[in-house]
Chains A and B, each alone.
Chain A
Amino acid sequence: MRKNNTWKRDFQRNKYKYLIFLPVFTYLIVFCYKPMYGAVIAFQNYRPAKGIIGSPWVGLKNFRDFFNDFYFPRILKNTLLLSTYSILWGFPIPIIFALLLNEITSTRFKRIIQTTSYLPHFISLVVVCSLIKQFAMTDGLINDIVELLGGERTPILQYPGNFRTVYVASGVWQQFGWNSIIYLAALSGIDVALYEAAQIDGASRFQRVLHVTLPGIAPTIVMLLILRVGSMLSLGSEKVLLLYNTATYSTADIIATYTYRKGLVEANFSYGTAVGLFNSVVNVIFLVLMNALSKKISNIGLF
């Protein structure tokens, strides 16, 4: 009885708050949770005409088919490699950039560099990839430079061996400035007294960077690295879809693009959903593990 009363009082006191939440609740149910329920078609042989209720259940068949799929090792390997290379290059470069930028003394020059380096982040993927495509053509800018240096003109985007380099390099170009913002914020938070003390103790500029600056931003680095590794498998399909072609599938096709082709282009809904669900579940497990690790090491976690 008393319990009932407190709930009633809570509702009475907060009725407008619940009212404000209602649109959000509706949105999340319809566009987030309903598709999660819709993912049960991964365990069915889904026929759109019959709906989820009427379609026959097939248990784990779609998952078994996926693990036995001729392309399964290839797309798993490509996803992991593309992510790994993106982290190996894309993670340290913003840190180095932030450290170097921090050594620039002219505030104006610093601001110009910052403004410029953030810009590519806002350019759409379609435009960036179109530009890459134009530059990578046999008579494009990159080949002009290659020829100038004594190389031979090649259709760059047609060779599987080039795909990862193009993907990672353009990713670094687009994001290094933007990703450095968080380190610059951490750098500006370091106590100036520490630098002064180091200077009095005779530390050189390089030693100050090594013993004051780096330890100062180390927690940020550790946390971001763990989060970045945690989301390693959730490599999005958009950029790959824009950059790859049938000639480069052997290195470019990843789980997300395979889901798109199988599920939507070939309208194999159940199979595509199973591939996507496998990816989401592995992502979440990976993220939770990394988060636990982060909490253990640095006491910082996402949730």
Chain B
Amino acid sequence: MKKTTGEKTFDVFNALFMAFVIFITLYPAYYLLCASFSDSTELLRRNGLLWWPQGFTTGAYKLTFNYPLVKTGYMNTLFILIVSLPLNLFLTICCAYVLAARNMKLKKFIIPFVMFTMFFSGGLIPSFLNVRSLGMYNSLWALIIPGSLSVYNAIIVKTAIEGIPESLSESAYIDGANDIYLLARIIIPLITPTLAVIVLYYGVGHWNSWFSAVIYLKDNTKLPIQAVLRAILIENQNIMSANDMSDGEVNRYAETIKYALIVVGTLPILVVYPFLQKYFVKGVMIGAVKG
């Protein structure tokens, strides 16, 4: 089928528009990189779009990595990820398995019991008081244990479990397997692709989270990386004072260090994203089928 002139024009404009979309999505990140490798005074002198670092220097990064809170921030986030993810996975699988289970008399109570929490919560202050009363105030556990189960993610896993033929579990029962064995040996290996998606969702959530840290943590040294970034970049807490350096150096990097910090706070996501992108999308599809 031959294309008309109008259609060809549309194709050209559409492609141009999509190129523009790519540009506005990626350019901020590119600007960020350029600015972070620039010299502050030269950067301030320059107006408009950046295409290349102004007076190339890696000084801002050196300062960033020497800044104690950035180090502790990274370590705290790492700790949260390592401890949280197994817990997230455990609770999510348990919840999903029971939501997908058949022939359970109590299930007609369990489903609303679980689902209700998706739509209603006690609210910010009762949750805060609850966590405080459990002795988790000013402890990293406050960022790990509350919120360790996302019912939404459990529903995604439940959908995956329901996709396994029933005959498989029936024959396992006949062979004398109990539910724990069935779950650990048969079901989990069959749904690992979905579990990978879930781990990614939880992982990105932990990496990006900052609000719980702000309300639950008192000591700066306990803050995860995003909360550190917020303190410096949004709340304008002075970060130079922690370093022993001359005024000249402070001025030289005062501007660019902010960009370097933003890069440092995003880099891990940007690095893993291209490889994991298709898994993220898969999760949306599974969720969409259900929703």
Which residues from chain A sit less than 8 Å from chain B, CB to CB? 6-7, 10, 13-14, 16-21, 23-25, 27-28, 30-39, 41, 48, 97, 100-101, 103-105, 109, 112-113, 115-120, 122-127, 129-131, 133-135, 139, 141, 144-145, 147-148, 173, 177-178, 181-182, 185, 199, 204-205, 223, 227, 237-238, 241-242, 256, 259-260, 263-264, 269, 272-273, 276-277, 279-280, 283-284, 287, 302-303
Give Cα distance in the complex from A43 to B261, angstroms: 45
Give Cα distance in the complex from A122 to B203, angstroms: 11
Residues of B within 8 A of A120 (CB): 25
Residues of B within 8 A of A139 (CB): 44
Give Cα distance in the complex from A131 to B130, angstroms: 34
Residue of A nearest to B287 (CB): A182
A104 and B277 contacting across the interface, CB-CB below 8 Å: no
Which of B55-63, B108-116, B157-165 participates in binding chain A?
Answer: B108-116
Residue of A nearest to B282 (CB): A181
B147 within 8 A of A: yes
B242 within 8 A of A: no
Which of A6, A24, A133, A273 is the most central at the interface, judged by chain B CB atoms within 10 Å of its CB? A24
Which of B125, B148, B285 is the most central at the interface, judged by chain A CB atoms within 10 Å of its CB? B125
B266 within 8 A of A: yes
A112 and B114 contacting across the interface, CB-CB below 8 Å: no
A264 and B110 contacting across the interface, CB-CB below 8 Å: no
Smallest CB separation, B178 vs chain A (Å): 5
A126 and B233 contacting across the interface, CB-CB below 8 Å: yes
Partner of B215, one of A264, A279, A284: A264
* 10 residue pairs A–B, Cβ–Cβ below 8 Å: A21-B110, A35-B121, A36-B120, A38-B129, A38-B130, A127-B226, A130-B230, A181-B284, A237-B211, A269-B125
Which residues from chain B sit less than 8 Å from chain A, CB to CB? 1, 4, 7, 10-11, 14-15, 17-18, 21-22, 24-26, 28, 31-32, 44, 47-49, 90-91, 94-95, 97-98, 101, 103-106, 110, 113-115, 117, 119-130, 134, 145-149, 178-180, 183, 204, 207-208, 210-211, 215, 226-227, 229-230, 233-234, 258-259, 261-262, 265-266, 269-270, 273-274, 277, 280-281, 284-285, 288, 291
A16 and B25 contacting across the interface, CB-CB below 8 Å: no
A35 and B130 contacting across the interface, CB-CB below 8 Å: yes
Residue of A nearest to B232 (CB): A130
Residues of B within 8 A of A100 (CB): 14, 17-18
Sorted nearest first, the 9 A-B pairs with minimum C-beta distance are A35-B122, A38-B126, A276-B123, A124-B208, A16-B179, A130-B233, A35-B126, A10-B105, A263-B125
Residues of A within 8 A of B21 (CB): 97, 113, 116-117
Partner of B126, one of A28, A105, A126, A273: A273
B47 and A118 contacting across the interface, CB-CB below 8 Å: no
Task: Given A17-B101, A133-B234, answer yes or no on A36-B122 (Cβ-Cβ < 8 Å).
Answer: yes
Give Cα distance in the complex from A270 to B4, angstroms: 68
Task: Given A16-B178, A16-B180, answer yes or no on A32-B117 (Cβ-Cβ < 8 Å).
Answer: yes
Residues of B within 8 A of A237 (CB): 124, 211
B149 and A27 contacting across the interface, CB-CB below 8 Å: yes
Residues of A within 8 A of B178 (CB): 16
